[in-house]
Amino acid sequence: MNRITTGVIVSLLIVAAALAWTTERYHGNAVRYKDQRDTATHNLKLANETIDDMEVRQRDVAALDAKYTKELADAKAENDALRGDVTAGRRRLLVNATCPAMPADKSTSAASVDNAASATLTANAERNYWRLRDGIATVTKQLEGAQQYIREQCQQKNPRR
């Protein structure tokens, strides 16, 4: 009986060792898979946060673009309206100018303000004035937009990075 008991005990020890080894193996696999899952979940969370941040930035940039595009269109419309008013005579364009000399046939009358020729720009100078005014408005709005973009998007602190 002693041999049978010893055989049973040895058999049980072998079965217990096999079960312990199998359990340890499955436990190791479970821990490794859990770590892989946690890493993948963390990476997915970071990717989703990055996507959310990019979407917010895209909306901000679109709003910024719309704002400055509207301001630029308003400035151009104001310049066009001003140009139309000057052309129609409703407003005057004030510039530093000198009056042209009076023709010789007009010089016989007494000198007075009524006889003076009005100071005017040449057609080319007036066109250049309006082009410059439009250009200044365009560059100003573009610069303001670029500065705001840099402040809000490029210099923005992102804690996830």
The range of the structural domain enclosing residue 139 comes to 58-96+117-161
Tens-digit pLDDT profile for residues 59-87:
999 999 999 999 999 999 999 999 899 88
Residues 81, 5 share a domain? no
pTM of the model: 0.57
Residues 21, 72 share a domain? no
Cα–Cα separations (whole angstroms), residue 69 to 63, 79, 91, 117, 138:
10, 15, 27, 42, 10
How many residues belong to the chain?
161
Q: What is the mean pLDDT of residues 114-122?
A: 67
Residue 159, number of CB atoms within 10 A of its CB: 5
User: How many domains would you assign to the chain?
Assistant: 2
* pLDDT at residue number 127: 86
Residues 48, 60: Cα–Cα separation, whole Å: 18
